[in-house]
Amino acid sequence: MAELSRDEAVAFLLGGGTEEEREAVERRLFEDETVADEVAAVEDELIDAYIAGGLPPSERGQFERAYLSSPERSDKVAFARALRERLSSDVRGRSIQGASGRPRALLAALAAAAVILLAMSSFLFFQDAKTRLELERARSEIAGLKTSNDQLAQQLEKTRGPIAAEPPSSRQPEALIASFELSPALVRDTSETRTLVVPKSIGEVRLILPVEEGSGGTYQATLTTVDGAKLWTSGPLRTRAEKSKNSIVVGVPANRLSTNDYILTLGRVDAKGRIRDVDDYFFRVKRD
Amino acid sequence: MAVRRPAGFRHNSLRLTSRGKNWVLRSGAFEKLLLTLDPDRERAAEKYEAIRRRLVQLFQWRGCLSGETLADDTIDRVSRRLEEGEVIRASDPAIYFYGVARNVLKEYWTEQRKEQTLERSSGPVRETPAGQWDLDHQEVDERLECLDRCLAGLSRENKQLIMTYYRSEKSGKIADRTELANRLKLSAGALRIRAHRIRGQLEECVTECMGKRADG
């Protein structure tokens, strides 16, 4: 059985080729499991290349059309991002903790590079007066960097500890968040409209929408004005359980909200990727 | 070996095929299906899982929005045919499954086209355009937590393999992977497939973890 080439696999994954060509590949997937494994491995590499920004523009467009328009394939991309994030943080954590003398080797390599650079700059110094002056400046910078490096290494030794155990969210600076609970309204009644006071310092407004137990699946929220102007749409949302209550949390960037009346429409994504509206939530925002 | 049975069997509920007929995948039909794949139940279970995996992949690679559901539908149809007395004549049963899957796919496309026609005339169902599925921060954090849990569940050898295989930066990647392949006494191709399979296990584990969080 002839192996599938990488180009054939990529074309298949991105939806290219004629129908006959695609059927021929599919038959081979079922005749030989190694072909299926090969295509799946190429898929991993394609996704990783996309995340790393390594796909050429023509393939990037095809990839986004094929992979970002369905929940299942988007989940594969999201998983790949998480894997890359976790493995990158593992590399950072290991170098900070000084495992197996690696930072020392790294410093030694840096020192060697600095020495080599210094040697080169000394050679060139005698060649050109102008270059000599610029190289003199470079030498000073390198010396300064080496000193900073030594100081950093000492600081890193002091901070050796369970940095890798820190949850990801606490390593990132977080915008101020204001949370409000909303209830759906069957009929809009201005006397009942909830008013949310949102100070200027708030970066994100979290709208908590209680849902019934068993309301699984994927949702999407859309924010519009009461005139119908669409302002913002969320990414995929899922129900969360907290203290025996289920809810969907919608994080709206605060810069989308001014003093005005709004409607948040919650839609549920069906198996075919279409969104069917479930509830509307009316609220008023007052910005300080 | 535990075998993942199609959803219709697991929930013991009526399952509507796209032709509108009700059919329940009973235990007897499922056992007959396994026997068709191999007289040895363990090997039959492995073949079943391999076929199911390829069916899910086929539907996902064809851009269908619910590969698992369509794969289970295909398996249900094959089981029903076997129960009704049909005999699989293909030299490899997997090819037979592919043939049935092609019909399921064609019906899926027909249904999609019908619904697009309906939407043009009636309106309010919204499609999800490409690029719409960007994640919010909380989901990203949850996915990372699930990934940590799933990585901890791997064997030491598998964890080390996947961390080394995917960790390498571009410049050192080939050298690191060559060294890893030599250490494990694998060819580069075999290492690649093994890394892919472990990654697949992790991905399934994370999907399950995320699903449990969503259901509360």
Each residue of B4-30: pLDDT tens digit?
555 444 333 333 333 334 555 567 788
Nearest to B133 among A12, A235, A272 (CB): A235
pLDDT for the residue B150: 95
Residue range A74-112, pLDDT digits in tens:
889 999 999 988 887 666 655 554 444 455 566 666 766
Residue range A193-212, pLDDT digits in tens:
788 999 988 888 989 988 87
Residue of A nearest to B133 (CA): A235
Task: Map tokens 């496309």 to a residue.
Answer: B109
Across the interface, do A27 and B207 touch by the CB < 8 Å criterion?
Answer: no
Separation CA B57–CA A53 (nearest Å) = 25
Which stretch of A16-20, A89-93, A276-280 has the lowest confidence by average pLDDT? Answer: A89-93
Above 0.85 for ipTM, yes or no?
A: no
Separation CA B177–CA B194 (nearest Å) = 12
Task: Please say whether the dihedral angle defined by the alpha carbons of residues B71, A70, A247 and A173, taken in this order, is positive or negative.
Answer: positive
Residue A240, number of CB atoms within 10 A of its CB: 17
Name chain B contacts of A272, Cβ cutoff 8 Å. Answer: 65-66, 112, 115
> A37, B196 in Cβ contact below 8 A?
yes
Name chain A contacts of B67, Cβ cutoff 8 Å. Answer: 72
Separation CA A122–CA A110 (nearest Å) = 18
Across the interface, do A168 and B60 touch by the CB < 8 Å criterion?
Answer: no
Separation CA B29–CA B22 (nearest Å) = 15
Residue A78, number of CB atoms within 10 A of its CB: 23
* Burial class of A142 by CB neighbour count within 10 A (0 to 12, 13 to 18, 19+): middle
pLDDT for the residue B206: 94
CA quadruple B168, B169, B172, B176: dihedral, nearest 10: 10
Pairing outcome for strands A204-211 and A177-181: parallel
Query: Long-range pairs for B110-116 at CB < 8 Å and ≥24 separation?
Result: B111/B18, B112/A272, B115/A272, B115/A274
User: pLDDT band for position A2 (50/70/90)?
Assistant: low
Alpha helices in B27-169 (DSSP H): 27-37, 41-61, 67-83, 93-122, 137-152, 156-167
Separation CA A22–CA A36 (nearest Å) = 13
Helix, strand or coil for residue A196?
Answer: strand
Residue of B nearest to A49 (CA): B170
Written as six digits, the tokens of B104 are 């399921």
pLDDT for the residue B96: 92
Helix, strand or coil for residue B86?
Answer: coil
Separation CA A64–CA B5 (nearest Å) = 33
pLDDT for the residue A171: 44
What is the CA B215 to chain-centroid distance, rounded?
A: 20
Q: What is the average pLDDT value for chain A, to the nearest integer?
A: 77
Task: Map tokens 């390599």 to a residue.
Answer: A109
Total residue length of chain A: 288
Written as six digits, the tokens of B77 are 């149809």
Q: Element (H or E) spanning A241, and its range?
A: strand A237-242
Q: Element (H or E) spanning A197, and its range?
A: strand A194-198
- The Cβ-side half-sphere exposure at B135, using a 13 Å CA radius, reads 18
Residue A240's DSSP bridge partners are A247
Helix, strand or coil for residue A251?
Answer: strand
pLDDT for the residue A134: 72
Across the interface, do A79 and B57 touch by the CB < 8 Å criterion?
Answer: no
* Burial class of B191 by CB neighbour count within 10 A (0 to 12, 13 to 18, 19+): buried
pLDDT for the residue B18: 37
User: pLDDT band for position A192 (50/70/90)?
Assistant: low
Name chain B contacts of A233, Cβ cutoff 8 Å. Answer: 132
pLDDT at A216 over 80: no
Separation CA A36–CA B57 (nearest Å) = 8
> A221, A250 in Cβ contact below 8 A?
yes
> A31, B92 in Cβ contact below 8 A?
yes
Q: Element (H or E) spanning A280, and its range?
A: strand A275-287
pTM to 2 decimals? 0.57
Nearest to A168 among B127, B141, B193 (CB): B141
pLDDT at A264 over 80: yes
pLDDT one digit per residue (tens) for chain B, 216 residues: 455 555 444 333 333 333 334 555 567 788 889 889 999 999 999 999 999 999 999 999 998 888 889 999 999 999 989 888 888 877 789 999 999 999 999 999 888 887 766 655 554 444 444 444 445 677 888 899 999 999 999 999 999 999 888 876 566 677 788 888 888 899 988 999 999 999 999 999 999 998 887 665
> B158, B181 in Cβ contact below 8 A?
no
> B167, B151 in Cβ contact below 8 A?
no
Residue A242's DSSP bridge partners are A245
Across the interface, do A236 and B135 touch by the CB < 8 Å criterion?
Answer: yes
Name chain B contacts of A246, Cβ cutoff 8 Å. Answer: 216
User: pLDDT band for position A158 (50/70/90)?
Assistant: low
| Average confidence (pLDDT) over A255-284 | 83
pLDDT for the residue A167: 45
Query: In b/e form, how buried is each residue of B33-69, taking b as 16+ CB within 10 angstroms?
Result: bbebbeeeeeebbebbeebbbbbbbbbbbbbbbbbbb
pLDDT for the residue B159: 92
> Which candidate, B122, B147, B140, places its Cα nearest to that of B199?
B147
